[in-house]
Structure 1
């Protein structure tokens, strides 16, 4: 199924051996909803179509159905698997630490009366088994603190469904999140299989090829490990005041930079940022002229290709989990500037628990009205580009490990093998009739 506000990038299977069917869209209420609530209702509305598609597939091809693997936002599909009498498995695309966080908070809410409001706009902290350090309420995902908009209940709903699956594949690896993964041995949760890093190395279709060529050509002319790359994900954008502070921070730092600057979608509408028709309108006067020798401001960025380029020396990131894994794969240190979803808690983990990122602002919220100042940004950039800092060394170590875990003898290779064995063992001897 394709979400109405979803980009086209990554909508098809990367492998010709994996068939990909797109279900027709079902219209749902157009009333105001938070993104998390909308996604959940959208998936629920499509469950009959999923049921029909699977029924047709198994009938036409005489395929024996082993089970369902569902995305973390598609947990309503567990009901369809139950109707077919087969097990469900979850593919969790964020960190193991965040998965443990969800399980722990759902347990505290359901069985010990924890009120999420206690952590809203508060300095309160919570001990969470999957984290080394106590987690401050300021980095809790905003969705979990959204009682009025239904976000908190949706988070709890999905987490309860996670407990009903037979196993959970997580896009991580043991050596990166050893503490978090070990924490699952002491909680009542399905088996967890760290099978990452699973990465998509395709450039994607977000921008024109000539734009990508121009970006890579510019990077070719820069010294090794000299360029700061600023990119805030497919939904990352800032208001004009914040853009100006970023520009001043970049200029004062003196570092070479490649800045992916996107225009926010219209206020009040769900959607993806777009490229500016004229970036001069939002940048400080003369900025492009003064930084022409060291910087390049772009729209869409081919993130994977950029991170792979030898000229990149640091990455100012929103700390989406995929971006973190890509940085690790290429050994690029991160300056954490989280924005939405679970990115704040990802940034907290990277900076405080793992020591694998420097901080610009880990508890930033784009809807909070806070402006990160130029001096704060400049300091973060200088820390990031320090060639002798511990974060750079740690990322290089993790890079080496990440290249070994997916091959024969690696931890994720072994974990994936365990998952396949368990799926085979869980295939029903006699499948129930569909109702």
Structure 2
């Protein structure tokens, strides 16, 4: 009789994102799908330092999706004074490690869920789950190509004595497109520093997962997905079962007064005529680069919406940990007269704009993006071609793939000896994407993927079936409530 009653109780799983909007958003979307489409109860475990103002609006709960905030961490005690925002991953990992000290008691209090899904920088959770006999799954918040590189990195680390950026040839990940050394993510450019040690610690634990969810789909990354599943190297690691479940992207946002004004402005523009410029939740430019970008936009004479953030010369990830809290006045740092000269053609918004709503508007015809994986998927899903402007983390690898492999983006060239993209190059890129022949080619390609994107996670699509197979296993495993 007890067993019969249990069949009516929805299986309970926990989902644990690490710090940052780029991790919170896709894991929240996964949680929603498990609840709405696969009959699960989900506890979303939130690291309470992972709660910028902009993120709080996303944590809307339903009867079967509830938010559990881990006990707060005193960041000042965890982070020593010599670690600043330049070392984004080190800071993130230290905060996360301290937050996860409470994970065991939280999971026990929840009745030991049938599974835990976490992401790449919270793999300490694997140890807790092993102790409690809870299967632990990893959710990769970036591309399949990046996941293949991460799985290959321990082999690369043992075989190569010099720094990877000093290698004379691109890195050949088995079965995948080679990775140029100049496109390598920041965290693997110096193996002597903590950034690399933390990154290596987490990716070396990938084989401990019961399975790996990838925020991608078959039509987007066929080569990388085939390599991870079939190439002898990855089979020998051994690589856990891989489940492409994407695209998992934000479906809607709460619109602010500023967002409504943006959409009303877009309503008055011709179809596919506006370039949307934004560099993610944490991205910033130097004053010099921001000035050149402004002049390039003005020279192009193309319509644009620019969600502009106060510049900083410290790091491209300058707003990662205080996203949503900064205040700025664009008049203080944009070129003198820029706002008045571009009035009517361009719309400048301080700090934030609703990316989902703007990308989904028919007047939006291009996206100048930092190439974070969430933003890349949102752009593709809405059929908007990109100008790739990577800043930090794995964004250069994403940009190279989007330009050369997927064919949905172009990338500006930097003159030899310079690190700044000049205004003439910005002008050329913007005109190319919005009005040029190459722009028409990538627009056609991204429209094809726009058709494919919603089919994959829809009922009977490849990503739906992939997630459904795991959900069925969780429902049948007699591992807890």
Query: Please, what TM-score do these two structures have when normalized by structure 2?
Result: 0.80
Deviation at 1:381, TM superposition (A): 0.9
- Structure 2 residue 173 is the aligned partner of structure 1 residue 119: no
- State the alpha-carbon separation in 2 of the partners of residues 220 and 18 from structure 1: 35
- Structure 2 residue 452 is the aligned partner of structure 1 residue 401: yes
- State the alpha-carbon separation in 2 of the partners of residues 259 and 404 from structure 1: 31
The aligned residue for residue 87 of structure 1 is 135
Cα 1:400–1:99 change in 2 (3 A) is same
The aligned residue for residue 211 of structure 1 is 258
- State the alpha-carbon separation in 1 of the partners of residues 251 and 289 from structure 2: 31
- Structure 2 residue 247 is the aligned partner of structure 1 residue 201: no
Aligned counterparts, 1:356-367, within 5 A: 356-360=408-412
Secondary structure of the 2:103 match is helix
The aligned residue for residue 217 of structure 2 is 173
The aligned residue for residue 29 of structure 1 is 78
Cα 1:80–1:35 change in 2 (3 A) is same
- Structure 2 residue 103 is the aligned partner of structure 1 residue 50: yes
Cα 1:6–1:258 change in 2 (3 A) is same
Aligned counterparts, 1:219-368, within 5 A: 219-264=266-311, 271-272=321-322, 277-299=328-350, 300-360=352-412
The aligned residue for residue 39 of structure 1 is 92
- State the alpha-carbon separation in 2 of the partners of residues 53 and 361 from structure 1: 50
Out of 182, 185, 191, the residue aligned to residue 138 of structure 1 is: 182
Cα 1:15–1:369 change in 2 (3 A) is farther
The aligned residue for residue 61 of structure 1 is none
Cα 1:427–1:357 change in 2 (3 A) is farther
Deviation at 1:203, TM superposition (A): 1.9
Q: Is the 8 A contact 1:231 1:316 kept in 2?
A: yes
Q: Is the 8 A contact 1:212 1:302 kept in 2?
A: yes
Q: Is the 8 A contact 1:347 1:362 kept in 2?
A: no
The aligned residue for residue 39 of structure 2 is none
- Structure 2 residue 207 is the aligned partner of structure 1 residue 163: yes
The aligned residue for residue 148 of structure 2 is 100
Q: Is the 8 A contact 1:265 1:272 kept in 2?
A: no
Deviation at 1:265, TM superposition (A): 6.7
- State the alpha-carbon separation in 2 of the partners of residues 199 and 283 from structure 1: 32
Cα 1:66–1:249 change in 2 (3 A) is same
Range that drifts further, 380-389 or 3-12: 3-12
Q: Is the 8 A contact 2:286 2:312 kept in 1?
A: no
Q: Is the 8 A contact 2:253 2:354 kept in 1?
A: yes
Q: Deviations over 1:276-309 (max 9, x none)?
A: 5431221222222221121111111111111011
Range that drifts further, 88-97 or 382-391: 382-391
The aligned residue for residue 417 of structure 1 is 468
Secondary structure of the 2:276 match is strand
Q: Deviations over 1:226-277 (max 9, x none)?
A: 0011010011111221111011111111111111110147958863356654
Q: Is the 8 A contact 1:143 1:341 kept in 2?
A: yes
- State the alpha-carbon separation in 1 of the partners of residues 477 and 447 from structure 2: 39
Cα 1:276–1:67 change in 2 (3 A) is closer
Cα 1:426–1:35 change in 2 (3 A) is farther
Unmatched segments (≥5 aa) in structure 1? 59-63
Q: Deviations over 1:359-408 (max 9, x none)?
A: 12699xxxx98211011111111221136522100100000011211122
Deviation at 1:29, TM superposition (A): 2.9
- State the alpha-carbon separation in 1 of the partners of residues 170 and 92 from structure 2: 29
Unmatched segments (≥5 aa) in structure 2? 1-45
The aligned residue for residue 376 of structure 1 is 425
Deviation at 1:5, TM superposition (A): 6.8
Range that drifts further, 228-237 or 354-363: 354-363
Q: Is the 8 A contact 1:170 1:193 kept in 2?
A: yes
Q: Deviations over 1:7-45 (max 9, x none)?
A: 233345444121111012223433133221222222222
Secondary structure of the 1:126 match is coil
- State the alpha-carbon separation in 1 of the partners of residues 139 and 162 from structure 2: 26
Q: Deviations over 1:285-336 (max 9, x none)?
A: 2222221121111111111111011110000000000001101111000110
- State the alpha-carbon separation in 1 of the partners of residues 116 and 462 from structure 2: 24
Query: Please, what TM-score do these two structures have when normalized by structure 1?
Result: 0.88
Deviation at 1:151, TM superposition (A): 1.1
- Structure 2 residue 54 is the aligned partner of structure 1 residue 9: yes
- State the alpha-carbon separation in 1 of the partners of residues 370 and 175 from structure 2: 21
- State the alpha-carbon separation in 2 of the partners of residues 115 and 13 from structure 1: 45
Report the count of equivalent residues: 415
